Amino acid sequence: MILGKFSFGTGDRFAHQGKAQLRASILAKEAGISITPVWNKSHREHKTIKSDPSDVRKEADSTVKELGWTEAYFVDADHINMNNVEEFIPYSDFFTLDVADYIGKQPEKGDIEDFVKRYSDYTGELNIPGISRPFHITKEFLEELAGNFLIAIKEAEKIYKHIEKVKGTDNFITEVSMDEVDAPQTPEELFFILAEIAAKGIPAQTIAPKFTGRFNKGVDYVGDLNQFAREFEEDLLVIKQAIKEFGLPKSLKLSVHSGSDKFSIYEPMNRLIKKHDTGIHIKTAGTTWLEELIGLAESGGKGLKIAKKIYAEAIDRFEELTAPYANVIDINFSTLPDVKEVNKWDGSKFANTLRHEQSNPDYDREIRQLMHCAYKVAAELGDEFTEALVEFEPTVEKNVSHNLFERHIKPIFLEY
C-alpha cells in the first residue's frame, strides 16, 4: 500500500462534511494536481463526540462512492498508541504512531552503547547532498540522541508490529509522529531517527518532526519564517538521503502537523517541495468544525443562536475546554469579548470574527482558538447541533470546501 506523492489529512469531527472535504480534492484534480484525501480522527475526539472509528470508515466509503472518486483515499487512526490502537485496527488503513510521550525516557545503558557503536562510522563530518553545511557528529551527540529517542522508536516498533500482526504487511500506511513536544528535532537528529526506524523494520511512509515556532490550533504560524524554511528544506534533503542510505520506502515524505491554517509557511513549503520535486503530507488541513460554526452563524436565526450558545458555554468553561490543548494554544482570556456583547452580533459579524481572514478587521485569533477547543460543547448539544448542520447544509458545505481548496490546497500545491 503506497501513499501518493501529495496527501491531505482532514478531520471531520461530526461526520457531516465528507462530501464537502472530498470536493476540495476533486477541485485540485481539475486544476491538474492529484492529492490523496485522508480522513483522520483521534481517540480523544472520538471520546468527546461519542463516536467510533467505524463511523469514519463509513463516512469515507460512502462519500467516495457518492461522488465517484476513483483514486486512492485513506482513513487515519490519528495519534494512536498501544492503549487505544485496538479499536482502530478494523477500520483504518493509515496509522499515526504517536510516540512523543516517550521522548526523553532513558533507555538502558547497554542500549545506548549499542546505538553509539552501530552508528560510530558517522562520527566526524556528516555531509547530506544539497545541504551546504556539514553536520558535526560526536560520540556525545549520539549518546544524547539515544537517550532522548531510543525508547520512543522502540515504542513505535511495538505499535507497528502489533498492527502488522493483525492487518498483515503492506496493508496500511505508517506514520511516526514526534511533533507534540517542546523542543524541535534538528535535521541531523532526524537522520539518525530515520536510521533507527529503518533498523526496527518500520516501513514509515511519513515522518512528523517538531519544527521551530508555535503551531497553535487553528491560527497562523508564529516564529522565524526563514528558520522554518531552512529546517523544512534540510529535513526534505535528510529524508531523501535516508531513503537511499537505510532502505526506507521510496514514498517516505515529510508530514507537517499544522494544527491547520499556518498560512505564513505555505509559500516556503510550496516553493521547496517544487524545488526538490518531493512529496508532502499535510496532517490536518482546515479546521472543518470551525467552518461548520461559521456556516451556522451566516445562516442566521437558529444557526446563529447555536453559535452564540456555544461561545457562551466556552467562556464559562474556559479552563476545562482549553486544558487538553494547553501546549498548542495561546489565548489571552482577558481580551475575549463579553457574552452580552457577542449576543448583539449579527451572523456576518460572528462569522467574520471567527473566519481566518487576517485582513478582515473583525477577525479575532483569540476567539478562533477558543472555539477550536469548544467542539465538546457542540457535541453535548447532540441533535440540536447536528440537525442544524443538515438544515443549513448548503451554507456550511460551501464554507468547508472553499476553506480547504482556496486557503490550503491552492497556496500549498498550486500557487506561487
What is the residue-averaged pLDDT of the chain? 95
**pLDDT grade, residue 287 (50/70/90)?**
confident
**What pLDDT does 256 receive?**
93
pLDDT of residue 188: 97
CATH 3.20.20.70 residue spans of the chain: 6-287+405-414
Q: Output the CA torsion 131→134→137→141 (10° steps).
A: -60
Residue 189 has pLDDT above 70, yes or no: yes
pLDDT (0 to 100) of residue 108: 95
Q: What is the pLDDT of residues 14-42, one digit of tens each?
A: 999 999 999 999 999 999 999 999 999 99
What digits encode the pLDDT tens for the residues 208-221?
999 999 999 899 99
pLDDT tens readout for residues 228-258: 999 999 999 999 999 999 999 999 999 998 7
Architecture of domain 6-287+405-414: Alpha-Beta Barrel (3.20)
Tell me the CB-side half-sphere exposure of residue 414, using CA atoms within 13 A: 18
Asked whether the beta carbons of 42 and 79 are under 8 A apart, the reply is: yes
- The span from the CA of 180 to the CA of 35, in Å, is 25
323 and 370 in contact (C-beta within 8 Å)?
no
Closest Cα partner for 261 from 279, 280, 284, 281? 284
| Nearest in space to 255 (alpha carbons), one of 224, 285, 281 | 281
Buried b (16+ CB within 10 A) or exposed e, 17-43: bbbbbbbbbbbbeeeeeebbbbbbbbb
Q: Which residue has the cell 519564517?
A: 225
Cα distance between residue 271 and residue 229, in whole Å:
10
The pLDDT of residue 221 is 94
Is pLDDT of 203 > 90? yes
Backbone φ, ψ for residue 369 (5° rounding): -65, -40
Whether the per-residue pLDDT at 76 is higher than 90: the answer is yes
* pLDDT at residue 411 greater than cutoff 80: yes
* pLDDT confidence of residue 181: 75
Per-residue model confidence (pLDDT) at position 286: 59
Helix H or strand E segment including 119: none
Q: Specify the pLDDT at position 410.
A: 94
pLDDT at 260: 82
In this prediction, residue 371 carries a pLDDT of: 96
Secondary-structure breakdown of the chain: helix, strand, coil percentages, each rounded to the nearest 5: 55, 10, 35
Question: pLDDT-derived band of residue 327, with 50, 70 and 90 as boundaries?
Answer: confident
pLDDT in tens, 163-188: 999 999 999 999 999 887 778 999 99
State yes or no: pLDDT of 285 exceeds 80.
no
Q: How confident is the model at residue 396 (pLDDT cuts 50, 70, 90)?
A: very high
Tell the residue number behind the cell numbers 498508541, with chain if given: 81
Average pLDDT on 123-143 reads: 97
In 31-138, alpha helices (H): 43-49, 53-67, 109-118
Amino acid, res. 320:
E
Q: In this structure, are residues 175 and 96 in contact, taking their beta carbons and an 8 Å threshold?
A: yes
pLDDT recorded at residue 259:
65
